[in-house]
């Protein structure tokens, strides 16, 4: 069974440059207010399609509010066969503080 790793915002930023896939599991309003540039919002309505169509070999970064819920989601995705799964320590709040220029809105 695959596992996930917790990573810092600095490591996550390096992964984005290397074309990692980012998924955001926060609520729609929070996502619209600001998210990591290029992040896909995952929820119960689209997660099955994502799991079915995503490249399971591409690095996958999971983001939530503060880095807690993303650990559960990352473990679940790793258990489904995604080979490189990461949970963002500190979540979007840490990301937003360190990399405001890499935040998209809407």
Q: Has 64 been annotated as catalytic?
A: yes
How many C-beta atoms surround the C-beta of residue 72 within 10 A? 14
Span 34-74, pLDDT tens digits: 999 999 999 999 999 999 999 999 999 999 999 999 999 99
Residue 47: its H or E element? helix 47-53
Domain 4-104 has CATH 3.30.2000.20: no
Q: Mean of the pLDDT values across residues 17-46?
A: 96
Instruction: Place 1 in a pLDDT band, splitting at 50, 70 and 90.
Output: low
Instruction: Place 94 in a pLDDT band, splitting at 50, 70 and 90.
Output: very high
Q: Mean of the pLDDT values across residues 11-26?
A: 95
Please tell me which residue in 16, 23, 64, 77 is annotated as part of the active site. Answer: 64
pTM: 0.94
**Hey, is 32 helix, strand or coil?**
helix
């Amino acid at each position: 069974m695959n596992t996930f790793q917790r990573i810092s915002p600095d490591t996550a930023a390096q992964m984005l440059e290397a074309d990692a896939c980012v998924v955001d599991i926060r609520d729609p309003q929070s996502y619209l207010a600001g998210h990591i540039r290029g992040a896909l919002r995952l929820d119960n309505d689209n997660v099955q399609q994502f799991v079915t169509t995503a490249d399971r070999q591409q690095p996958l970064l999971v983001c939530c509010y503060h880095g807690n819920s993303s650990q559960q989601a990352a473990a679940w995705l790793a258990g489904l066969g995604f080979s490189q799964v990461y949970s963002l320590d500190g979540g979007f709040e840490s990301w937003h503080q360190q990399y405001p220029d890499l935040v998209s809105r809407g």
